[in-house]
Amino acid sequence: MIPTYNEKDNIRPLVDEIFRAAGPKTMVIIIDDSSPDGTGEVADEIARKRKGVVVIHRTERGRGSAGIRGFQEALKYSPECVIEMDADFSHDPSYIPAFLREIKYSDVVIGSRMVGGGMTVQRGFVRNAITSFAGFVTRIILGMRVMDIQSGYKCYRANVLKSMDFSRFISKGYSIGAETLYRAHRKGFYMKEIPIIFRNRKKGKSKLSVQELFSFFFNVVRIRIGV
């Protein structure tokens, strides 16, 4: 499940690498928020040529609502598990086999930059410091031990997603990852972090803004109070 916005240069090679890593029985669901660069049109072309690719076009924008829409679409196909990842190659598809191995023994598997063997490369000091600080504060507020609580590279057993009442979710933006994990934590699901190397995007620009950062912290507090 891949939310996209302005990823036309990344989406085609990403889908190719996903199928190489995960095998032909994989289904790829792309949720595009009306990208002005034509990502949606490229995704449609991929879907016409490759079996197992589904494209959802939205007029709404937001990482959180896009993720929820993607989860809801994925569950229609009765999957065993659902992997979510970003479209910018910061999440390497070569880790997919490791996710699929570990999900046999866990309810949620998290691709973590913060556990032994995990790291972030090709990224500036300031951005890394912001990520570390945001993760520390989020763990304190939500009272969770997950080290990389902001990770957008995760694998869920289908029953975890089926247990979620997405109509009650608060997040519309980047806090969706923390909210999903917190709700799974509250339900008693077992989570495991596996190390990944997170690389800065190959092409395009980051969508994270100062406004998104403030919104993230505000929503984390709302999640803790409201869930």
Structure tokens at 136: 């520390």
- Write down the pLDDT at residue 218: 85
pLDDT digits (tens, 9 = 90+) for 151-180: 999 999 999 999 999 999 998 888 899 999
Helix (H) or strand (E) holding 220: helix 210-226
Q: Which residue range(s) make up the domain with 155?
A: 2-226
- Write down the pLDDT at residue 132: 81
For the segment 65-76, the average pLDDT, to the nearest whole number, is 96
CB distance 202 to 122 below 8 Å: no
Our count of domains for the chain comes to 1
Range name among 54-58, 84-88, 135-139 with the lowest pLDDT average = 135-139
DSSP per residue, 94-145: GGHHHHHHHTTS-SEEEEESSSTT-EEES--HHHHHHHHHHHHHHHHHHT--
User: What is the CATH number for 198?
Assistant: 3.90.550.10
CA 227 – CA 215 distance, rounded (Å): 17
- Give the global pTM: 0.90
